[in-house]
Chains A and B, each alone.
Chain A
């Protein structure tokens, strides 16, 4: 077992000459009388990215971000301050600013110790040097060549390769110290194809909490290049999308973004504590068809949305959100869990030390059912088969969500027909889930491409689902 805590101390504390005694001193200033919970969050993240565009490796960038965020909570009040320069002096100053939300009082002595050992869900190796720089360039060139060789109609290729390494250390008000060392890699290929003056785009990619070698295994990245071309060529043939309500079959994997938007955000603890979600106060109620069981699981090994511990030091795990259609629970961080009188679920996440944590999804998916996907399509007289999505958005209060299709086909008399142009699906989260009438046996998780935004903070997430039939969703097309 690797020792994340030792690594984190060495990387985050040692350069500033800090040890546990100094952390105790800062926490004693931050917490104490009038403060219910508090934490210190140290982070160092390094990211390297390369972009090939227009046939040449045009851009390379290296980014280093580091700092410490200090939070003190009194009742429902949160005080927050952070510093980019990690030093005892700056930490003490930030602690005084953050704790000013509560009246000053005497501090308790705090003993700092490890929160408890956990098996990491991914190797701590830094993915940035996991391939030599010339091998990274070679990979990008092969992606370009593969895409262009796939079809003469390919006019433009953009390929990118990103490797990031993040080390975090969290200390809570009770002196518990937790650490995580998180690799993250991502590769993407986007193409533009042209035929008789008509241009269309296609894009594909993947990644996870691993090293860059992942993209070489089984020629995985070359598969992204071919997939991007295939999608773009499909779109060259696309006809106008019909407008209005219709039966929609959602393909497996990435279309799980429907769940993320339609129910996921509405089940985050903060919205529900404040009574702002269309799902507020509905635990135990039927909110989806009995065929639907939806979980959030941050403990899947190596997944983009996975975390050994969340950004508050809580170990991640599987949280059942909806079980056979019944709403079972919300995703929680420490703050909202405490105020709602439940246990934190390992969903406390933050974009960086300069942002406050909040309840966020990790990997959210709907469990497989028992129908053959072919049967599901065959059951549709007239409808839409939605295979790929460009992204979505939700208004958690009204429950309205939308998402944009990047690859979809008409279904006529049980058969997949002509591809249709990018359309939008719009629905009401709690309503649409009650209209799931068939669930396939082909559960798949997305290839590791998702990023979720909330309150201006971006975090990597995963989604997944089997093939699903939804009896009616409004399709926003142009054809009447």
Chain B
């Protein structure tokens, strides 16, 4: 469906909500179509044709709300969804903060963020690209002995949001992803690793050969991994695993975690939570950005924002509801942060290894061991042991533990090696000290 058709559906939903007695309402409708092709060991494994659609509506009766969503966009289903939402709103509680965003803050006009670059590609062409990618991984080294395949995925979607303050806006987007997962084997050691790239425009994707080679290189590098002795040591989180540390920060400074007092950074606004050279910011208006959006999930205009400046927590991550609970103003973050980044302290990964001298380079993290309330951090890890500033051997079956509040204070450097696709941009992090558990 095109933007115009989606806008009609949103307008219909808002009109229906009014007809059924709601004082206020908002609605979002989306539709997408895509193709996903996987090649494994040179043969086609799957060809998937995707076509998704859905709508969500929230109604308000005074300060009580109800929501409904469905994949059925027929007029009857629209009516039914609104009726369900209204029925629910009869039973939810009066909530002084419930409601739409302040009309003053809604986006009025917005720039074209260049997010829509459809890729006219046939399944046959997609198969060729995936095959080339996987072959590059298999050719990288004879020890790359098996594969979970290479997948090319392309999706084109449209999205429209509207509310009863008169906001109605939407835009089309595309996203193209090429990924490859392979296995390397040597003796008894089997190791699996992967690489990918994901872009708004196909011409910006890394070449299939580069993605495949990197997957192969990563899997082979892990061969012969051993455990480590239990110890305390400095740790580098390589750029591809470092985004998790930023996501934990975002979780802790979300308004929701603050007003519910369930954050390890409770009430930390204005406090120094990082060393004074650290700056963490978002740029929702980044052209072609994977998380770019001109307005947030409530229609509030987005804009670039510093969350941490000079090491000090400068802003929480707020939507209208949590802002109301905290008696603040929304930061346009309904739906999350967009294109989050931490500024590098200037060193490349090689320099960081030298700076660390002796310690652990973490390249994979496993498990959910992050406690959002206390900041206690304990996760499974794999990576490389470093001595004299150089990689000695791969390691596995160890854990690294600490507390996020302390880990943020102990941040020594952020590398300039940020070449990872995705909505969080960061180089590798060098942290002064963590506990490593092994044998």
**Chain A residues whose CB sits within 8 angstroms of the CB of B402 once the complex forms:** 478
Decide yes or no whether B435 CB sits under 8 A from chain A: yes
Chain B, range 47-88, C-beta contacts under 8 Å to A: 47-53, 65-74, 77, 80-81, 84-85, 87-88
Known interface pairs A200-B373, A274-B148, A422-B371; A477-B439 also in contact (CB < 8 Å): no
**A398 x B191 contact (CB < 8 A):** yes
Decide yes or no whether A404 CB sits under 8 A from chain B: yes
**B49 x A80 contact (CB < 8 A):** yes
A423's partner among B69, B74, B261, B401 (CB-CB below 8 A) is B401
Chain A, range 373-399, C-beta contacts under 8 Å to B: 390-393, 395, 397-398
**B148 x A84 contact (CB < 8 A):** no
Decide yes or no whether A370 CB sits under 8 A from chain B: no
Decide yes or no whether A192 CB sits under 8 A from chain B: yes
Known interface pairs A402-B366, A421-B376, A422-B371; A60-B89 also in contact (CB < 8 Å): yes
B41's closest neighbor in chain A, by CB? Answer: A274
Q: Which of B17-25, B271-279, B343-351, B392-400 contacts A (4 or more CB under 8 A)?
A: B392-400
Distance in angstroms from A127 CB to nearest chain B CB is 16
Decide yes or no whether A19 CB sits under 8 A from chain B: no
Decide yes or no whether B187 CB sits under 8 A from chain A: no
Distance between Cα atoms of A67 and B436 in the complex (Å):
48
**A56 x B95 contact (CB < 8 A):** yes
Decide yes or no whether B260 CB sits under 8 A from chain A: yes
Q: Report the interface size for chain B: residues with CB under 8 A from the other chain.
A: 79
A193's closest neighbor in chain B, by CB? Answer: B373
Known: A101-B44, A201-B373, A404-B378. 4 other contacts (CB 8 A): A82-B50, A241-B401, A243-B435, A244-B439
Distance between Cα atoms of A404 and B382 in the complex (Å):
16
**Chain B residues whose CB sits within 8 angstroms of the CB of A98 once the complex forms:** 49
**Chain B residues whose CB sits within 8 angstroms of the CB of A78 once the complex forms:** 45-47
**B437 x A243 contact (CB < 8 A):** yes
Distance between Cα atoms of A395 and B183 in the complex (Å):
12
**Chain B residues whose CB sits within 8 angstroms of the CB of A66 once the complex forms:** 71-72
**Chain B residues whose CB sits within 8 angstroms of the CB of A83 once the complex forms:** 51
Distance between Cα atoms of A424 and B369 in the complex (Å):
6
**B44 x A404 contact (CB < 8 A):** no
Interface string of B1-35 (1 = CB under 8 A from A): 00000000000000000000000000000000000
Distance in angstroms from B304 CB to nearest chain A CB is 31
> Which B residues fall within an 8 A CB radius of A?
40, 43-53, 65-74, 77, 80-81, 84-85, 87-95, 98, 123, 146, 148, 183, 190-192, 225, 227, 230-232, 259-262, 266, 366-369, 371, 373-374, 376, 378-380, 382, 396-403, 435-439
Decide yes or no whether A284 CB sits under 8 A from chain B: no
> Which A residues fall within an 8 A CB radius of B?
48, 50, 53-54, 56-67, 76-85, 94, 97-98, 100-101, 133-134, 136-137, 155-156, 192, 194, 198-201, 241, 243-245, 274-276, 278, 354, 356, 390-393, 395, 397-398, 400-404, 421-424, 426-428, 474-480
**Chain A residues whose CB sits within 8 angstroms of the CB of B67 once the complex forms:** 59-62
**Chain B residues whose CB sits within 8 angstroms of the CB of A200 once the complex forms:** 373-374
Distance in angstroms from A140 CB to nearest chain B CB is 10
**A426 x B398 contact (CB < 8 A):** yes
Instruction: Choose among A62, A65, A395 the residue with the greatest number of B CB atoms under 10 Å from its CB.
Output: A62
Distance between Cα atoms of A80 and B44 in the complex (Å):
13
**Chain A residues whose CB sits within 8 angstroms of the CB of B190 once the complex forms:** 278, 397-398
- Interchain Cβ contacts under 8 Å between A and B, 24 examples: A57-B93, A59-B65, A62-B68, A62-B81, A63-B69, A64-B71, A84-B52, A100-B47, A133-B87, A136-B91, A137-B91, A155-B261, A199-B262, A199-B266, A243-B437, A276-B183, A393-B368, A393-B380, A395-B366, A403-B367, A423-B378, A426-B437, A478-B403, A479-B435
**Chain A residues whose CB sits within 8 angstroms of the CB of B261 once the complex forms:** 155-156, 192, 194, 199
Distance between Cα atoms of A75 and B65 in the complex (Å):
52
**A476 x B48 contact (CB < 8 A):** no
**B437 x A476 contact (CB < 8 A):** yes
**A54 x B260 contact (CB < 8 A):** yes
Distance in angstroms from B40 CB to nearest chain A CB is 7
A201's partner among B148, B191, B232, B371 (CB-CB below 8 A) is B371
Count of chain A to chain B residue pairs whose CB atoms are closer than 8 Å in the complex: 246
Distance in angstroms from A291 CB to nearest chain B CB is 23
Known interface pairs A58-B95, A397-B190; A404-B369 also in contact (CB < 8 Å): yes
Distance in angstroms from B433 CB to nearest chain A CB is 11
Distance in angstroms from A433 CB to nearest chain B CB is 15
Interface pairs A-B: 3 shortest CB-CB? A476-B399, A402-B380, A60-B88
B264's closest neighbor in chain A, by CB? Answer: A199
Distance between Cα atoms of A194 and B183 in the complex (Å):
47
Known interface pairs A192-B260, A244-B438; A480-B367 also in contact (CB < 8 Å): no
**B397 x A427 contact (CB < 8 A):** yes
B49's closest neighbor in chain A, by CB? Answer: A81
**Chain B residues whose CB sits within 8 angstroms of the CB of A100 once the complex forms:** 47, 123
Distance in angstroms from A126 CB to nearest chain B CB is 14
**A60 x B66 contact (CB < 8 A):** yes
Known interface pairs A58-B92, A199-B373, A476-B401; A80-B192 also in contact (CB < 8 Å): no
Distance between Cα atoms of A237 and B217 in the complex (Å):
46
Known interface pairs A58-B93, A275-B146; A354-B439 also in contact (CB < 8 Å): no
**Chain B residues whose CB sits within 8 angstroms of the CB of A199 once the complex forms:** 261-262, 266, 373-374
B88's partner among A62, A97, A192, A476 (CB-CB below 8 A) is A62
Distance in angstroms from A343 CB to nearest chain B CB is 23
Distance between Cα atoms of A59 and B98 in the complex (Å):
10
**Chain A residues whose CB sits within 8 angstroms of the CB of B368 once the complex forms:** 390-393, 404
Distance between Cα atoms of A398 and B382 in the complex (Å):
11
**B68 x A63 contact (CB < 8 A):** yes
Known interface pairs A62-B84, A63-B69; A480-B435 also in contact (CB < 8 Å): yes
